[in-house]
Amino acid sequence: MRTLTSALVVAAMLLVVAGCGKEANPGWDEPLGPDGPMIMEEGIVYLDRAFEELVVLRTGQGAELTVERQPTGASPGQMVMADDGRSLYLINREDETLSIFDVSASSVGQTTVELGSTYDTFTVDPEGEFLLLSHSGDAGDYVVQNVNELAIVDLRGGEPEVTISTLPMQADRLELMPPFEMEGQSERLAVAMATNEIAILDLNAEGSDRVRKAPLTGSQADNLEPTAVVFDPPTQNRPNRASLFVLDNTSDDVTQIAIQPTLEGQTSKFGLSINQLAAGNRPAEIAILELDAGDGGTVNRLLALDGQSAQFTLVDVDSGESATFDLPMSGAAHGMEVYQSPVSGEDGTEKRVLVYSHNSPLMAVIRPQEIAVGTETPTLGQAVEEVRLSASPAELIMESGTDSDRAVALHGGGEDGLSVINLRSNENWWLSGHNPSQIVFDGTIGYAIFGNSSHVVRLNLETGQPQQFDLPDRARSIYLSPDNESVLVRHDGASGRFTVLERTAMEPENGRLYEHVFLGGALDYEVFDE
């Protein structure tokens, strides 16, 4: 009976299939799991490449989680979030377009810009005024491309405008310099870095005047790879000169490219002059510090961390004078963070630099305002103060914003816990336990998750008091909602498993577990017509 029924069904189906006109989206045959997330101002967003859609997750009151799916262009490629978390940029490879998603509103809006080429590298402007698109040169699905080509997207107007420039070389990296004024004009520069040379782009210029090339001559090495560039804007004392300081991988010197207005009648708006500044022993990291000059003005200094020894060098960028000082750790420093800190016993704040090494429990706080370059050697405890941790920091997390009161040092090795450093008093306390896999901050509260643990810990950074709360499963990542109401925890699993907790009441009875989040509305996804 059953066999006979099946035969009848099959026969009927064969008759119908002869007229079929639909097939499922091939995305249904791809493994589950969108890319991401990117952290946006109002939530987090994933890219579902198979279905060519953004998946936007937002939390709300009562541990609510809402999911919005927004179509992209064809074959979405690289994506990046603007620094303010309000815009998401996405390359559509097949369409050769750029999608700009406004993710700041309750519903995602989209603007599409024609590019005419398949770029795969973004350079995002922290100011949100420009976006640079370039080619990495990696093998891709294209017939031919000019790897020196650069698309400059001007985001300052209502509609994005794209102009194409060709660089004199293929850029390994691009960076946008902060806005500045020279001769009363508002200016923006970008720097393209390549082996042995850099190119400076005047983003307000047009045509061939836009790009200027400059050689790197910091040492006699065959190949100089620029590793960092910092910008020294015009000051009150020298209103018509800005500088770029370029660090490379082999030199003891830093290349200074001074930028000044040219005389009338010349084709280029800016003239360039190149100098070398002594900056210690193989500097590994540099920063420009704008310090009080004492006369109401400011003076800019270049701080360079030595890559070979526990030293740093401070350079007066106007005179070229420099002085090198010891750091308290035993080996070379690996990183630094610049922050603003209140001065004890005085009104106002001063710029300070927190320096750390992965190999030493000693950190250093440099007070560059206290250092007079070339005339005085600072003593330990005055211009350079030490902070002794319980273990070497594997990673340093600064509180967001420049007026930071606290930093958190994560100790490597899996069992070493973390240290919270009070940047006002330079005191610290150690939280023992399994190494947190992620920690996020909201003012004086930190939220941490741990590698193999089904818990989230709320840390009061003022008191050092940790509180532990249960999760339904092991946590993979954690995010804070911008509404100050919720904590969003993602668990393992390709289908999207999330727990939403209320920040003020993180007990399970107030939270909610969401599963199959990436499968929401799946039966209603578009299908393809044959």
Partner 1 sequence: MKSMSKLIFGLLAAALVMGASATAWADKVTLELRGSSVETTDRGYTNLTGDSAPGAGGLALGFEPAFIDGLRLTASVDGTSLNGSRFAGDLSTSWEHQRVMAGADYGVDLFDDRLRPLVRVGFGYSRQALGLTADNVTYRDTDHGLAAMAAGGLEATVLTSEADADSLVERLSLGINLTAGYSWQTAANFDEMESQDAPDEPSDDDPWRRGNYDAGTVQVTGFSLSLGLVAGYRF
Q: Does 262 bind partner 1 (CB under 8 A)?
A: no
Q: Does 492 bind partner 1 (CB under 8 A)?
A: yes
Q: How far is the CB of 1 from partner 1 (least distance, A)?
A: 7
Q: Does 523 bind partner 1 (CB under 8 A)?
A: yes
Q: Name the nearest CA neighbour of 149 among 162, 133, 166.
A: 166
Q: Does 7 bind partner 1 (CB under 8 A)?
A: yes
Q: Does 522 bind partner 1 (CB under 8 A)?
A: yes
Q: Does 512 bind partner 1 (CB under 8 A)?
A: yes
Q: Give CA–CA dist 335/269, Å, rounded.
A: 36
Q: Does 525 bind partner 1 (CB under 8 A)?
A: yes
Q: Which is nearer to partner 1, 1 or 139 (CB)?
A: 1
Q: Which is nearer to partner 1, 320 or 508 (CB)?
A: 508
Q: Does 516 bind partner 1 (CB under 8 A)?
A: yes
Encoded tokens for 142: 């294209």
Q: Which is nearer to partner 1, 4 or 139 (CB)?
A: 4
* Residue among 93, 135, 411, 497 that touches partner 1 (CB under 8 A): 497
Q: Does 521 bind partner 1 (CB under 8 A)?
A: yes
Q: Does 65 bind partner 1 (CB under 8 A)?
A: yes
Q: Return the exposure string of 201-223: e unless at least 16 CB atoms fall within 10 Å of the residue's CB, then b.
A: bbbebeeeebbbebebbbbeeee
What is the phi/psi pair of residue 125, to 5°? -85, 120
Encoded tokens for 95: 């369409």
Contact (CB, 8 A) for 52 and 25: no
Which H or E run contains 78?
Answer: strand 76-81
Distance between start and end Cα atoms, the chain: 36
Q: Which is nearer to partner 1, 4 or 105 (CB)?
A: 4
Q: Does 15 bind partner 1 (CB under 8 A)?
A: yes
Q: Does 505 bind partner 1 (CB under 8 A)?
A: no
What is the phi/psi pair of residue 131, to 5°? -140, 130
What are 388's strand-pairing partners? 362
Rg of the chain taking only CA atoms, in angstroms: 27
Q: Which is nearer to partner 1, 33 or 342 (CB)?
A: 33
Q: How far is the CB of 511 from partner 1 (least distance, A)?
A: 7
Contact (CB, 8 A) for 229 and 245: yes
Q: How far is the CB of 93 from partner 1 (least distance, A)?
A: 22
Q: Does 508 bind partner 1 (CB under 8 A)?
A: yes
Q: Which is nearer to partner 1, 17 or 143 (CB)?
A: 17
